[in-house]
Amino acid sequence: DAKTTQPNSMESNEEEPVHLPCNHSTISGTDYIHWYRQLPSQGPEYVIHGLTSNVNNRMASLAIAEDRKSSTLILHRATLRDAAVYYCILKGSGGSNYKLTFGKGTLLTVNP
Amino acid sequence: NAGVMQNPRHLVRRRGQEARLRCSPMKGHSHVYWYRQLPEEGLKFMVYLQKENIIDESGMPKERFSAEFPKEGPSILRIQQVVRGDSAAYFCASSPNYGGVSYEQYFGPGTRLTVT
């Protein structure tokens, strides 16, 4: 699986937008970009995924660079409940593409 | 609309005992995945099951660990003769179809196993 690189930690203020970056320079043409988050003492939670076009859902937006070598998860108005570790994961078209390979992710701290 | 359920949420076992972790997938989901999160480490894939079939157990330790997903009832992750190194959070996830590139997985709250 192609690797992703994320900052170890980021900090935000409540009710401000948050942009969480992810670099995936070795992404292949059929790799989907998935984002999950894990709140303290909870299981991971699916956030959003996309292939080429930007995606929006009720939780967040995903902006994918034109060359697909990077993407950004956007939380439009951070709340205290958004404090979590955010994981950017590539899912490829290989034989075991059902596996989620979690890296260290980005620990997001939201200040009141 | 119940999510993925796991029980027990916390389990304490003495070294040498058996641990049984149960996972009920979301309604309508027939694909189950188990992951383990060791203290201060990331989540690691363990096994992928469909009803009555183990599809991929490449992430399972070769000894003492087994998993099943019977036709009826929850998926079970079984750890025999537990050791301190088995202490971890075990998460189950499910998906409605083959968990391919475009499908998301829905996770349960996890079972935190402590071996004393």
Position A66 confidence tier, pLDDT thresholds 50, 70, 90: very high
A31 in contact with B, Cβ within 8 Å = yes
**According to the model, what pLDDT value does residue B1 have?**
54
Asked if the Cβ–Cβ distance from A43 to B91 is below 8 Å, we say: yes
A100 in contact with B, Cβ within 8 Å = yes
Asked if the Cβ–Cβ distance from B109 to A102 is below 8 Å, we say: no
User: What is the residue type of B74?
Assistant: P
Q: Give A89→chain B minimum CA distance, Å.
A: 11
Tokens 């660079």 appear where? A65
A2 in contact with B, Cβ within 8 Å = no
**According to the model, what pLDDT value does residue A2 have?**
62
Q: List phi, psi (to 5°) of A72.
A: -135, 130
Q: Which residues of A20-37 are buried (b: 16+ CB within 10 A; e: fewer)?
A: bebbbeebeeebbbbbbb
Interface with A, mutate which of B4, B107, B114 (most A CBs under 10 A): B107
**According to the model, what pLDDT value does residue B96 have?**
81
Position B113 confidence tier, pLDDT thresholds 50, 70, 90: very high
Give the DSSP letter string of A3-72. --B--SEEEEETTS-EEEEEE-TT--TTPEEEEEEE-TTS-EEEEEEESSS-EE-SS-EEEE-TTSSEEE
Q: Give B43→chain A minimum CA distance, Å.
A: 6
Over residues A81-87, the mean pLDDT reads 97
List the strands of the sheet with B5-7, edge to edge: B5-7, B19-24, B75-79, B65-68
The residue with greater pLDDT, A91 or B49, is B49
- CB-nearest partner of B107 from A44, A92, A93: A44
Q: What percent of chain A has pLDDT over 70?
A: 95
Question: Element (H or E) spanning B31, and its range?
Answer: strand B31-37
